[in-house]
Amino acid sequence: MSDNSSDEELAPDWIPYRQRSDWADVTPIEQDDGENPVVVISYSEKFKDVYDYFRAILASSEKSTRALELTRDALRLNAANYTVWQYRRDILKALGCNLQQELQYIDDVISDNPKNYQVWHHRRVIVEWLNDPSDELRLTESVLSMDSKNYHAWQHRQWAIKTFNLYDNELEYVDRLISEDVRNNSAWNQRFFVLKHFGFTPEVIQREIQYAVNRIRLIKNNESVWNFLGGILHDGGASISQHEEVLAFCEELYNNNVRSPYLIAFLIDLCQEKCLREENAESREALGRRVAELCDGMIREHDVIRKKYWQYVVDSFQLKLNRLKANNDGERNDGTS
């Protein structure tokens, strides 16, 4: 439990619980840090007062309107306290409270604490109790308009979409976010999430290849879209090297002196796969040399910070290539013996 806010979190006319006549029947319980605490936190007097009374109602299992209001004060002072949120849910259930009003309350808390896991979890539980996701896309869109990469908002949005089948207009929303910021990795991830739900048909794959290519042409050094393109090809069920138009596009960029490490890494994957599938020995050797050259470029210039990784990539690839060559030589010898 930590006091991460100032006294101003509570109203200026706030009266300590110790001075309230309607709480005179409750004996507050102070925090027990043991005989020799390593660190003594300097809590404000308001924080001590609220949490001393919260510990008291928790100990007595009191579930009342006043206890519910006490949890609100406790959460104003520390919105990340899991125990308070859990006990608030226990009170809501015991009293049969209006859960729509609780959602409105959570809206306000989220606006002040948009990256607080506990409040998003509380929101999810209340929505599940109501079985009503009608406001979740609106809420998350509002939060994401302030921070388009808020992980908690995206996680909640995906949960709501998946749980209540709210996929229908999501691609249009994501397309708008990508248009606003093509580097928004969260939006690219959301696009993949929606596409995976509907399935990667050949038509979808071709459409998404073109979608990604058009955005790569705008910004070549954008890791998000390169990851998206790789995911589309891998999850589409076919070999990435079977999409000749993608290889041609990558080669076009490379031949035009684009040296983005994401482009080169993509080319390495394509060439490795194409090489290991190639039956013609001469073509296979040429592709093998290309992989080695591209990895060498990453090691020496384009991705030096990960040079050990790229050395591992080229060494592992060479082992696979040697095994493939040995197997092919063995098959030819068996055929001629």
Return d(Cα 46, Cα 227) in angstroms, integer.
50
Separation between Cα atoms, residue 57 and residue 335, nearest integer Å: 84
CA distance 211 to 281: 35
Between the alpha carbon of residue 296 and those of residues 197, 264, 316, the distances in Å are 39, 11, 14
Cβ atoms of 160 and 153 within 8 Å: the answer is no
* Residue 219 DSSP one-character state: -
To the query of whether residue 115 is one of the catalytic residues in this protein, the response is: yes
Please state, in angstroms and as integers, the Cα–Cα distance from residue 93 to each residue in 216, 270, 305, following that order: 51, 56, 54
Token readout for 222 is 């954008």
d(CA 195, CA 282): 39
**Cα–Cα distance between 4 and 2 in angstroms, integer?**
6
Q: Which residues, at least 6 apart from 213, have a Cβ–Cβ distance to it below 8 Å?
A: 229, 246, 249
Rounded Cα–Cα distance for residues 335 and 110 (Å): 71
- Concatenated DSSP letters for 291-328? HHHHHHHIIIIISGGGHHHHHHHHHHHHHHHHHHHHHH
Residues 143 and 105: beta-carbon distance below 8 Å: no
Is 100 within 8 Å of 83 (Cβ atoms)?
A: no
C-alpha pair distances (Å), 205 with each of 201, 214, 253 = 6, 14, 21
254 within 8 A of 267, measured Cβ to Cβ: yes
* Integer CA distances (angstroms), 237 to 29, 98, 203, in order: 61, 48, 13
- Annotated catalytic residue: which of 48, 93, 115, 149? 115
Q: Count of CB atoms within 10 A of residue 294's CB? A: 24
Which sequence positions are flagged as catalytic? 115
